[in-house]
Amino acid sequence: MKPLRQKMLNDMKLRRFAPNTQEAYVSAVAGLAKFYKQSPDLIDKEKIQAYLLHLSDELKLSWGTCNVAVAGIKFFYTQTLGMDSMQLGIPPMKTQRKLPDILSDEDLTRLFQCTRNLKHKTMLMTTYAGGLRVSELVNLQLQDIDSGRMTIKICQSKGNKDRYTILSHRLLTELRTYWRKYKPHFWLFPGLFSDRPMTRSSAELIYNCAKKRAGITKEGGIHTLRHGFATNLLEAGVDVRTIQLLMGHSSITTTARYIQLTSKKLSATKSPLDLLEIPDMKRFKGM
């Protein structure tokens, strides 16, 4: 491994960055170096800015992907190389406020019914029933399922935090059926090799294939199931603070955004137009 790459990894490990973040940041810097065919410590700020414009304007990468590239490159130059952030001329990242699509009850029913592979079906149901991130899903172990307390333990998730989420009785039945057939030993959903967990890309592919078979055209990947978990709990009357704890949000503001997605609250709210007493226009016909 090259010294600069190793130094960057060490800098991230010291700051306790999650493995996924480390991988994404290193990939961002590697992409920059590959684009110019130069060691990244020899690339000046004009080239960095031109590369970031290339990602957004020419490659048309998503907002989130570009933000990750900006964060990774900025970390490398400011933390690993010790440059002043002002020298880079990289503008601060902005968060795109885009509401996700939410699957209806009918969508979810079709999704699970169309997934005939028992392992895949159980995996998707676990994601939805527990409100899990895909990284949390693939890293579940058998010991994380506690049928006595009816909880699922999420170990060292985002922010290196542990938490518990709910284990539904229906999911527990599905998990027991799944276990009797597949007999997983350590990982709840192992990959091609039983001693390794399923990859995140495999979980995404399984969801996208199931969504296609179910005829669901709404945008979004497997993370849509996590959005649906929060939204449907809100519609069921669960308070925001409880949902925050179940989902592992560090800020309740993040959880509160799901209020915008609750269709029952929206449909129950009257438009101000409906509150006006406007005379029936039919009375004025023929005048």
| Residues taking part in catalysis | 133, 158, 223, 226, 249, 258
Q: Judge whether 198 and 187 are in contact, CB under 8 Å.
A: yes
- 3-class DSSP state of 49: helix
Count of beta carbons in the 10 Å neighbourhood of residue 251: 8
- 3-class DSSP state of 152: strand
And the tokens for 69?
């590239």
Alpha helices in the chain (DSSP H): 3-14, 19-36, 45-53, 63-75, 85-88, 105-114, 118-130, 134-138, 169-182, 200-213, 223-235, 240-247, 252-256, 263-268
Burial of 91 (C-beta count, 10 Å sphere; 0-12/13-18/19+): exposed
Cα 179 from Cα 149, distance rounded (Å): 19
Cα 214 from Cα 127, distance rounded (Å): 17
